[in-house]
Amino acid sequence: MTPLLEIRNVSKNFDALKVIDDVSFSVPANGRTALIGPNGAGKTTIFNLISGFYDVSSGVVLLDGMDITKVPSRKRAALGQARSFQNIRLMPHLSVVENVMLGQQSRADGLKQALLPLRASHLRAEAEAQLESMNIRVHPDDVVSSLPYGIRKQIEVVRALASKPRLLLLDEPAAGLNPAETAALVEFLRKISDSGVTLLVVEHDMSLVRSLCDHAVVLNFGRKIYDGATAHVHEDPQVLEAYLGPGHAGKAGLAGAVA
Ligand SMILES: Nc1ncnc2c1ncn2[C@@H]1O[C@H](COP(=O)(O)OP(=O)(O)O)[C@@H](O)[C@H]1O
Ligand SMILES: [Mg+2]
């Protein structure tokens, strides 16, 4: 079966600095894949290459078998990609439902854009229904800046979903969340996955990775060092060395190193 996303021999240089070095991996459709690795390994850069915020220096990006390497980022969104960012990028002075409606924009083409005033109430109803289906405990008219951080992270995910993506890229969705908020987020992401959205998740919290993702790709210094079952990632000598340093493989668990 064609993977929903594939990157093939992708490299990225910033001037003389090689940040991504010949990385290839696939994200199966309807799966939940984790992209992990130490700080500075290149995870966010990979997201920027997948979503077209950066151009690759070499290599190919395929979405559902189609070469999108040269497709601009706005068009990639229209093809079914959405992402959330490492730092929250909601509009703090707007309401919850207005923020979600902003996420609907990326699927609007010229004609829809022109009709937007007529469709506004329909779109608002759709955004409200999406918030309700995700069980987020907010009023649609709450102003985002008044809400707790954990709720804002969830709203950011709902906003990304408002464009009805097939592939959702999440960059450290649990950063800054307490254990209860993290557990709620995992439930929430499972629900999204069950609805048929393919997930690719950058995450430091290994317990989240283990409870959510079956497949993991590990980067270190811009190179892929592991690609396989999440269940065995903490036993891999190269992964242990990347997290714990040379000579430490086997002496301690990965969970302790990155938790
Ligand atoms: N726009 C850029 N210009 C120069 N270097 C960059 C740029 N973006 C990322 N890098 C470098 O690429 C490396 C990987 O960064 P990043 O992808 O953010 O890592 P991660 O998300 O895994 O922590 C870092 O050394 C970072 O400084
Ligand atoms: Mg990052």
The separation between the first and the last C-alpha atoms of the chain, rounded to the nearest angstrom, is: 34
At 200, phi and psi to the nearest 5? -125, 115
Residues 14 and 75 occupy one common structural domain: yes
Answer for the pair 220, 41: CB distance below 8 angstroms, yes or no.
yes
Residue 200 sits in the same domain as residue 148? no
Same domain, 7 and 56: yes
- 206 lies in the same domain as 239: yes
The bridge status of strand 58-63 relative to strand 5-14 is: antiparallel
Q: Quick check: is 257 in a domain?
A: yes
**Number of the ligand 1 atom closest to the C-alpha atom of 14:** 4
In this structure, are 127 and 54 located in the same domain? no
Q: Please give the distance, rounded to the nearest whole angstrom, from the Cα atom of residue 227 to the centre of ligand 1.
A: 21
Q: What is the 69 CA–ligand 1 centroid distance (Å)?
A: 20
Residue 150, helix vs strand vs coil: helix
Strand partners, 220: 223
Range of the domain at 101: 90-163
Same domain? 111 vs 189: no
Number of domains in the chain: 2
Residue 85 domain flag: no
Where are the alpha helices (H) located in the chain, listed in sequence order? 43-50, 73-78, 96-104, 110-133, 149-161, 179-194, 206-212, 237-244, 254-258
pLDDT of residue 248: 62
Phi and psi for 169 in degrees, rounded to 5?
Answer: -100, 120
Boundary of a domain, candidates 144, 163, 182: 163
- Could you read off the pLDDT tens digit of each residue along the chain, which spans 259 residues? 899 999 999 999 999 999 999 999 999 999 999 999 999 999 999 999 999 999 999 999 999 999 999 999 889 988 999 988 777 789 999 999 999 988 887 655 555 565 566 567 888 898 898 888 777 889 999 999 999 988 898 899 999 988 889 999 999 988 888 898 888 889 889 999 999 999 999 998 888 999 999 999 999 999 999 999 999 998 999 999 988 777 665 554 555 454 3
The pTM assigned to this predicted structure is 0.89
Question: Does 65 lie in the same domain as 186?
Answer: yes
170 & 246 share domain: yes
The answer to whether residues 196 and 242 belong to one domain is: yes
Q: Is any atom of ligand 1 closer than 6 Å to the C-beta of 19?
A: yes
Among 146, 163, 180, give the residue marking a domain's end.
Answer: 163
Task: Determine if ligand 1 sits within 6 Å of the CB of residue 149.
Answer: no
Q: Which of 163, 195, 221 is the last residue of a domain?
A: 163
